[in-house]
Structures are given as structure tokens and as C-alpha cells.
Amino acid sequence: MELTTLWFIVVAFLWIGYFTLEGFDFGVGMLMPVLAKDNTERRVMINTIGPVWDGNEVWVLVAGGATFAAFPEWYATLFSGFYLPLLLILVALIVRNLAFEYRHKRDDARWQANWDRAIIFGSLIPAFLWGVAFANIVGGVPIDADSEFTGTVFTLLNPFGLLGGVVTTLLFATHGAMFVALKTVGDIRHRARALAIRLGLAAAVAAVVFMVWTQVDTGDLSSAIAFTAAALALVAALLAAVKGREGWAFTGTFATIALAVTGLFLALFPDVMPSSTDPAYSLTATSAAATAYTLKVMTWVAVFFTPIVLGYQAWSYWVFRKRIGTHHIPTAELEHAR
């Protein structure tokens, strides 16, 4: 296998890891005003992702770094052409992260409500814009002979891109609801599972339309297999949720997102940034790649560090595997006493 192909697979793997893990973080954040009836339940929802959200975000940093190092031309065209939506994503993530850290600093209802809004919108905005961005990457954008993006931000807000945003928002919301059902006890667990089923049905409709559209435009047999598997995984997840099997239901939404993103990368390859201006101007994995020496060095670094990172993150999930409920949340009086 050529190193350019290997690193295309590595970059795809990193984005799959990011969307499957950060996806349920986004979902939990988006659903706070829907699922939580009071402040205690909002704290339960935040605590389900509290030990893991920062580790999940590492994936996007590594994915961006790997893209920059392995495919500098891809990185340059992507981040210059998509600078506004990517900037909005970055700002939303920063505000959301601040909210996780500062929400509990004051026992004041208004203070906490404002940070709750930061969590909600800091989850919703990236969930939607990542879908818009990746839909446009796969569908193609105007790129000239100098590999420069010639469109505007409104170019990205086309029907295909907006549909991509709707799909990722619904899938992440379903994924998040499944995670809350898996990680909680009591009434919120049952409400989360019921909501996950309703959201999953809406996500299934939007996702099928999007995947068929993608397949018709740029797909091949391999992407068709991945998209079909993603649809079946979502159906299996919903059936498991109906039966009250939250573990299998969450596994199903996890597989759905992983397979759907896999299908997008399969539909994209061998391009990394298709040009809607002229196919000859498209950036390919070969033309956008770094030097062979750079790819060799990166490969050895990845071989050494990847198992360590995966092992540590798996360990952290295992440590914080237990369910939580409202009875685990200390009252304000107890907190002040401490």
C-alpha cells in the first residue's frame, strides 16, 4: 500500500473517531433543555460526559494535525476556503469548554443558566457545521487551477451541504440520547431512551436521503456497502432501544456514525477536495500529499503513539463506566458544607 493511501486511511480513522466520540458529547449538550427537567438533571447529564469530553476533543486536534502534516495542500485549501464555518466551530468549542469548567463555580441560577446556554449552542453549532463542511468536501467546491477556493461562505450553504448539517445534528442528538440512557438511572434514563427512538426515526429519514444523494453523485460499490451497513446499524440501534437494551442501542448508533463517515471517505477517495469548477483541478491524495520522507517519519510516530493513546482512552472509559442518577448529585447545602 502506498503511504499516501495509508495516510488517507489514517486521517479518515481519526475523523471517524472524532465524530463517534464527540458526537455523543454534542448530543448530550444539545438535549439538555429537552431531557433535563431541573438543575439536578442537567448536572446529571453534564456528569455523564464530564470525565471524557476533553479526551474526545483530542481527536479533532490530531485529525487536523495529521491532515496538515500528511496532506498540506488539502489542509491549505480546506482551511482557507472553509475559514468562517471552521472559525465558528472553534469559537463554539472554546465557549462550550469554558462552560464545562465554570458552570459550577457559582451557586447562582442565572450564572448557571447562561453557561447552560453556552453548552447547548456550543454543541449545536459544531454538530451542524461539521455536517455542512463534510458534505461540501465530498460533494465538491469551486477550486481553481492554483488549488484555491473561489467561492464564498454562501457557496457552502447549498441544499446538499445543509442536508449534511441536518443529518449530523440528528445523528449526534440520537447518539447523545442513547448515551444518556446508557449512563443514567431513574426517570431520565427512560425519557432519554424514548427520545432517542423518536430522534432516530427522523435521523434515519434524513440520513437515507443524504446517503442516496451522495451515492448517486460520487459513490461507488464500496461506499454503497458502507452506507447500507450504516442504515442497518441504525435500524438495529432503534430496535435495541425499543427492547430497553441501551448498551446495544448505543453500539448501534456508534456503528452508524462510523460507517456513514467511512462511506463519505470512500466516496471521496482518491480525491481529497473535488473541484466543481473542473475535475482536473481537484486535489487528490497523491497531489496533495507531503513528501515521502515526511510520511515515513509520521508513520513510525503513529505506530508508537497510537496504541498508547487508544489504551489510555479505553482505560478512562472503563473507570467511569458506571451509571449515575440524581441521587448521586450532592445538594447545595452539602456542597457548601464541604
pLDDT in tens, 17-38: 999 999 999 999 999 999 999 9
pLDDT value of position 332: 52
C-alpha cell at 263: 462511506
Pick the range with the lowest mean pLDDT from 98-102, 220-224, 332-336.
332-336
List the Cα angle 175/250/310 in 5-degree steps: 95
pLDDT value of position 1: 66
pLDDT value of position 333: 38
pLDDT classification of 334: cutoffs 50, 70, 90: very low
Residue 166 has pLDDT above 50, yes or no: yes
Percent of the chain at pLDDT > 90 equals 73
This prediction has a pTM of 0.93
Mean pLDDT calculated for residue range 52-63: 89
Mean pLDDT calculated for residue range 201-228: 93
C-alpha cell at 234: 441504525
Residue 336 has pLDDT above 80, yes or no: no
Average pLDDT for the chain: 91
What does the DSSP 8-state code read for residue 273? E
Helix and strand totals (H; E) in the chain: 14, 2
Pick the residue with more confidence: 329 or 133? 133
Structure confidence by residue, pLDDT tens digits, 113-154: 999 999 999 999 999 999 999 999 999 999 999 888 998 889
| Distance (Å) of CA 289 to CA 4, 8, 80 | 6, 9, 17
Side chain identity at 333, as an amino acid letter?
A: E
pLDDT value of position 330: 76
Name the residue among 140, 139, 119, 103 with its Cα closest to residue 34.
Answer: 119
Side chain identity at 86, as an amino acid letter?
A: L
pLDDT value of position 331: 65
pLDDT value of position 106: 87
Chain-centre distance for alpha carbon 262? 13
Residue 95 has pLDDT above 60, yes or no: yes
Percent of the chain at pLDDT > 70 equals 97
Cis peptide before 33 (omega within 30 of 0): no
Mean pLDDT calculated for residue range 179-201: 94
| Domain ranges (residues) in the chain | 3-337
